[in-house]
Structure 1
Amino acid sequence: MRRITLWALSTVTVLLLLLSYHTSTSSRTSLGAESSEVAQGAPDDVGGSSSGGSSSGGSSSGGSSSTATGDVTQTRWGPVQVEITVADGEVTAVDVLQQPDGNGRDQQINAYAIPVLKQETLSAQSADVDMVSGATVTSDGYVQSLQSALDKAGL
């Protein structure tokens, strides 16, 4: 009798936990919660990516600085495109023109990952940046578009 009661209570508990689980697309949370989810290795967009798409790149001059726009990289979750600003042979700014944003989870991941990738780029001054854990596909697309922009800028 004790085993049956214990089994029934365990089953009810598991069902309640499953029914109370909120999916990542249900709502947006604060950035603090997003970064802890990504840092804990939340499941990400696992899959391949391929370069392609159109290029709106090139560079424009404005004094001693210029910009170069990388090719659009199509990833599993959406396009990624990076634009860099170069002054005196150094990358001084990075802008992400396109990023996956099809659902709340994409927005959460990119709210954390994109600033990290930008900072890594400015520190490394190359496309040799560390991937962001939990944002593998976005990171891969970012690096491919960044390399394209660096090539166009002659760096």
Structure 2
Amino acid sequence: MRRITIWLLSTVTALVLLFSYRTSTMGVGGGTSAVAGDTSAEPPTGGSGSAGDNGSTGDSGNSGDGSYDGSVAQTRWGPVQVRITVAGGRITDVTALQVPDGNFRDQQINDHAVPILRQAALTAQSARIDTVSGATVTSDGYRESLQAAIDAAHLR
């Protein structure tokens, strides 16, 4: 009888602890990320101005040179969107317009991951880049938006 009582109390304690655990999406942290752009600003120029627009913000008559926004990739932690700058048929810059930043942990992860993803995209000149450990969801969204921007720029 004593073993059953201890087992029952242990099980109830474990369940209470399990259901009271707060995940990273439950709390909202203060401050803004140094990586993500201001998501409260107006949509980027070019095209119809919708948030998922893949339009060019540069001169489309100059052999594809200009800035191209990728579509907004909706991830389970929040939206991810990038903008590429193309010059001479090459990607010269990648800017993260939106990354998940709903709390401090998201900001920490993305402050670490986004520069790595940017450098990988510039080196690869494509969306075929490795996932950053600890930022799998952001990496997947980054690749998706990057590929949409590359497609909009008509790069290979």
Query: Counterparts of 1:153 and 1:79 in 2: how far apart (Å)?
Result: 21
- Say what the alpha-carbon RMSD is for the aligned residues: 2.4
Find the counterpart in structure 1 of residue 148 from structure 2.
148
Query: Going by fraction, where is strand more abundant, 1 or 2?
Result: 1
Find the counterpart in structure 1 of residue 4 from structure 2.
none
Query: Counterparts of 1:107 and 1:74 in 2: how far apart (Å)?
Result: 17
Q: Runs of 4+ in structure 1 displaced over 2 angstroms?
A: 23-28, 60-65
Q: Is 1:59–2:39 an aligned residue pair?
A: no
Query: Counterparts of 2:99 and 2:28 in 1: how far apart (Å)?
Result: 20
Find the counterpart in structure 2 of residue 113 from structure 1.
113
Contact 2:29 2:102 in 1 (8 A): no
Find the counterpart in structure 1 of residue 136 from structure 2.
136
Q: CA deviation at 1:152?
A: 0.3
> What secondary structure sits across from 1:59 in the alignment?
coil
Q: CA deviation at 1:61?
A: 2.5
TM-score (normalised: structure 2) = 0.64
Find the counterpart in structure 1 of residue 87 from structure 2.
87
Query: Counterparts of 1:73 and 1:60 in 2: how far apart (Å)?
Result: 19
* Identical-pair percentage: 58
Task: Give the residue type in structure 2 aligned to 1:123.
Answer: T
> What secondary structure sits across from 1:58 in the alignment?
coil
Deviations 1:53-92 (A, max 9, x none): 9522211325673011000000000000010000011000
Query: Counterparts of 2:58 and 2:134 in 1: how far apart (Å)?
Result: 36
Count of aligned pairs between the two proteins:
109
Gaps of 5+ in 2: 1-22, 31-49
Find the counterpart in structure 2 of residue 37 from structure 1.
none
Query: Counterparts of 1:82 and 1:96 in 2: how far apart (Å)?
Result: 4
Gaps of 5+ in 1: 1-22, 29-52
Query: Counterparts of 2:28 and 2:81 in 1: how far apart (Å)?
Result: 27
